[in-house]
Structure 1
Amino acid sequence: MGRVRAVLARPWAVGVLVVAVVAVGLGSYWFQPWKLWQDRTVTEALPGAVEPSAAPEKGGPGATSPTGSPTPSASAPAGPETLAGGELISHEHTTSGAVKLVRLADGSHVVRLENLDTSNGPDLRVWLTDAPVKEGRAGWHVFDDGEYVSLGRLKGNKGSQNYPLPADVDPARFSSVSIWCDRFDVSFGAAELARV
């Protein structure tokens, strides 16, 4: 007890202690090291994907009229169509999985991450970009150099998930997807979108 009083009696020691506590608090907030041990798995189905049915509906495709002839039916809307895709490569953190640019039946587009596996981290985003994907450290910081669209926060660092494109975004203008750490301006991983 006497030692604590002696330390607190020195003003410089109190100042150093306050600075150390503030530094640890700010460092913890900024780096969020606990996320390295926390995984969040998200499993989403592709929007508009239709499950095959066991039997045709009355009046639907494959149904027959009372005379036994096929009934005319309205053409079913086209299902989701993959326009481009690629495999994720690692940048700042080990990252794997597939990326697809998909046009849905209603004409809208989504970026789909499939079997994503990366580290959790602070302020992770999914970016659609026009930057080339480069391996190694050369590719860590290129995605904010050109044009990019943030599709929102990464929903989970593992699993399959969808990120809708805003209606005014032309997907043909973009060639890659990055899992981007906005806080530290670094790519965790990225994929080149090869047209199908």
Structure 2
Amino acid sequence: MERTRSRRIWWLGAAIAVLLVGAVAGAVFQPWRLLYDETVIEAVPTAGPVAESAPAAPSASPTLAAPTGPVELAAGALVSHEHPTTGTARVLQLEDGARVLVLDGLDTVNGPDLHVWLTDQPVIEGTDGWFVFDDGAWTSLGPLRGNVGTQQYAIPDGVDLAQVTSVSIWCERFAVSFGAAPLDLA
């Protein structure tokens, strides 16, 4: 009888331990995020039509004004790191002087605590590139709003683009890059 009771207590303790470990693992890894995508489709600013100005004299030909709209400052294709990642990253300067990072056609795995980082580290393909982005200077542009789609992030005025060489989809919880793109200046 005593032996049966101690077995029950042991099994109850083991079940409680398994539940606690499962709850902690679920909170840390958030495996349910792998089951769905968060799609974000934001409009990306494009150059407007080029306006013609009237000729100063009847014999002069019309002149073309400068195009209106954003100017691409840098761009690069995303490469996979910890998880398959595709798309392009572009830095645009808007008409008002503000700068934005645009992630076009992003497709990566949904994960916990993903952020968009501008960094001074090179993009290295394969597993060697997974952990390099927090080794140098980096600026977080905020949480990744969706793991699929097109989205844009404001770049703070104080960021010197001459010092930025890449963008990373960075998992802050596990300190690993899901994917990254070199930002080649235009």
TM-score by length of 2: 0.85
Alpha-carbon separation, structure 2, partners of 1:159 and 1:121:
15
Q: How does 1:3-14 map to 2 (within 5 A)?
A: 10-14=8-12
- What does residue 38 of structure 1 align with? 36
Matched-pair contact (CA < 8 Å) for 2:123–2:182:
yes
- What does residue 80 of structure 2 align with? 90
| SS across alignment from 2:133 | coil
- What does residue 17 of structure 1 align with? 15
Q: Out of 75-84 and 154-163, give the one that drifted further.
A: 75-84
> For 1:94-138, what per-residue CA distance to the aligned partner results, in whole angstroms no more than 9, with x for missing partners?
000000011111111111000001110000110000000001000
- Please state how far the C-alpha of 1:17 moved relative to its aligned partner: 1.6
Q: Out of 167-176 and 155-164, give the one that drifted further.
A: 167-176
Q: How has the CA–CA distance of structure 1 residues 114 and 10 changed in structure 2, closer, same or farther, with 3 Å as cutoff?
A: same
Alpha-carbon separation, structure 2, partners of 1:38 and 1:147:
32
Give the letter aligned to residue 29 of structure 1. Answer: A
Alpha-carbon separation, structure 1, partners of 2:119 and 2:129:
13
Matched-pair contact (CA < 8 Å) for 1:77–1:105:
no
Structure whose residues are more often strand by fraction: 2
CA RMSD of aligned residues (A): 2.5
Alpha-carbon separation, structure 2, partners of 1:195 and 1:41:
28
> For 1:125-161, what per-residue CA distance to the aligned partner results, in whole angstroms no more than 9, with x for missing partners?
1000000000100000000000000001111111110
Q: 1:131 aligns with which of 121, 124, 134?
A: 121
Matched-pair contact (CA < 8 Å) for 2:70–2:95:
yes
- What does residue 176 of structure 2 align with? 186
Alpha-carbon separation, structure 2, partners of 1:36 and 1:122:
10
- Please state how far the C-alpha of 1:171 moved relative to its aligned partner: 2.0
- Please state how far the C-alpha of 1:77 moved relative to its aligned partner: 8.1
| SS across alignment from 1:27 | helix
Give the letter aligned to residue 79 of structure 2. Answer: I
- Moved segments of 4+, more than 6 Å: none
- What does residue 116 of structure 1 align with? 106
- What does residue 131 of structure 2 align with? 141
Q: How has the CA–CA distance of structure 1 residues 21 and 80 changed in structure 2, closer, same or farther, with 3 Å as cutoff?
A: same
For structure 1, list consecutive stretches of 5 or more residues without a partner in the other structure: 1-5, 54-60, 69-74
Q: Please say if 1:171 is aligned against 2:161.
A: yes
Count of paired positions: 176
- What does residue 27 of structure 2 align with? 29
Q: Please say if 1:153 is aligned against 2:151.
A: no
Alpha-carbon separation, structure 1, partners of 2:53 and 2:100:
33
